[in-house]
Amino acid sequence: MSETKKKIDAHSHRIWDVIMVGAGPAALSAAVYTSREDITTLLFEKGAIGGLAAVTDWIDNYPGFPKGIAGLELAENLRLQAERFGAYIELGDVMSVKRSGDHIELDTTSGPFKARAVLLATGSDWKKIGVPGEKEYFGRGVHYCATCDGAFYRDKRLAVIGGGNSAVQEAIFLTRYASHIDLLVRGDSFRASEVLQHELKKHTDKITVHLNTTTDEIVAVDNKVDHVVGTRKTTGKKVEFPVDGVFVFVGLEPNTQFLKGSGVDLDEIKLVKTNGHLMTSVKGIFAAGDVRSGATMQIASATGEGATAALEIREYLDDLKK
């Protein structure tokens, strides 16, 4: 018997068993598990199906692909697998989520929906510096994850943008690959911890720190990132840094704005808090992937959390029937 199920319309259910907000690796992995067990599953995605994975040029550290895989191809495979078992993906935005009696109500651009359980898997976006060249060369010379993309820059020159813990940690991590790193810090001092600053001093052979230096433009030559243009704030003079790649670490922007008034608890940087069962502070609302407080921000761990969340949701739905 074929495991492919007939595709359904988003409005075909009065109440869905589970609605997933987001259609990145965490949600798509969860959807494979839920829909395969005949748990009616609807995913809402306002951007690209596959999330940040879909707009990442090449992924080299996802298990099972010894030669790596294009981000778009991985995202497409995840989508096809979820839809194969009957998961339905609706392109649209979720504006609010709230519990009402024995179900959860979602206000969306496609109208109101009800679900017995909800999985929050909206991910987080890396904060952008908003300079020319950043958007144009994202995934092709401009990156936001050293673990994901650092290995592409063996024996290359890099610029790291930022002065907080993440920027210093990732700059140190990148020394295992890069021949030299220019660390551009906008302020006159680091925001990173004293421990990390002490560790940074051990890598002066590879990392040059530039305090009071803005990042004004990322310039490409022949469609390849070539140098960064900045300004020395102390003198007002322009400066150029020859680079093969740029890594930006100025913080995360969790996609949790729609949760205002939902009762879902967030941490100090607006990531969703969960318990050991991946349930939030609101009964029936779960979270997985990069939007969850404590997540490791890796595709492989997001898919694992999605699978775990699906199993927890199944148990939750079974308990509702008792």
Instruction: Judge if pTM exceeds 0.85.
Output: no
Confidence class for position 114, pLDDT limits 50, 70, 90: very high
Averaged pLDDT score across all residues of the chain: 93
Per the structure block, which two tokens stand in for 16? 């869905």
Output the pLDDT for position 60. 86
pLDDT category at 1 given cuts 50, 70, 90 is: very low
Q: What is the dihedral of CA 90, 94, 97, 100, to 10 degrees?
A: -50
User: What is the rounded average pLDDT of the residues 200-209?
Assistant: 97
Q: Are strands 207-210 and 180-184 parallel, antiparallel or unpaired?
A: parallel
Q: Please report which confidence band the pLDDT of residue 139 belongs to, taking 50, 70 and 90 as the band edges.
A: confident
- pLDDT grade for 147, boundaries at 50, 70 and 90: confident
CA distances from 320 to 18, 120, 132 (A): 13, 20, 52
Exposure letters 4-29 (e unless 16+ CB within 10 A, then b): eeeeeebeebeebbbbbbbbbbbbbb
Res 49: pLDDT: 94
CATH superfamily of 16-125+252-321: FAD/NAD(P)-binding domain (3.50.50.60)
16-125+252-321 and 128-248 share one fold: yes
pLDDT at position 12 is: 64
Q: What is the pLDDT of residue 264?
A: 98
CB contact set of 293 (below 8 Å; sequence gap of 6+): 266, 267, 271, 272, 273, 274
pLDDT of residue 207: 98
Q: Band of the pLDDT at 6, cuts 50, 70, 90? A: very low
Question: CA 216, 136, 146, 299: dihedral to nearest 10 degrees?
Answer: 140
Q: Where are the domains of the chain?
A: 16-125+252-321, 128-248
- Provide the sign of the torsion angle of the four alpha carbons 153, 154, 157, 158, taken in this order: positive
CA dist 30 and 304 (Å) reads 9
Q: Could you tell me the pLDDT band of residue 8, with boundaries at 50, 70 and 90? A: low
Coil, strand or helix at 246 = strand
Which of 281, 232, 236 has the alpha carbon at shortest distance from 259? 281
Homologous superfamily of 128-248: FAD/NAD(P)-binding domain (3.50.50.60)
Residue 315 neighbours by CB under 8 Å, 6+ apart: none
pLDDT in tens, 242-265: 999 999 999 888 999 999 999 999
How far apart are the C-alpha atoms of 83 and 4, rounded to whole Å? Answer: 8
Beta bridge partners of 76: none
Distance separating alpha carbons of residues 312 and 288, to the nearest angstrom:
11
The region of weakest confidence among 10-14, 44-48, 254-258, 287-291 is 10-14
Whether residue 188 has pLDDT greater than 80: yes
pLDDT digits (tens, 9 = 90+) for 22-59: 999 999 999 999 999 999 999 999 988 998 888 777 88
Percent of the chain at pLDDT exceeding 90: 85
Kindly report which listed range (52-66, 160-174, 269-283) carries the lowest average pLDDT score.
52-66
pLDDT-based confidence at 124, cuts 50/70/90? confident
Question: What DSSP state is assigned to residue 10?
Answer: T
Q: Is the pLDDT of residue 204 over 80?
A: yes
pLDDT of residue 11: 66
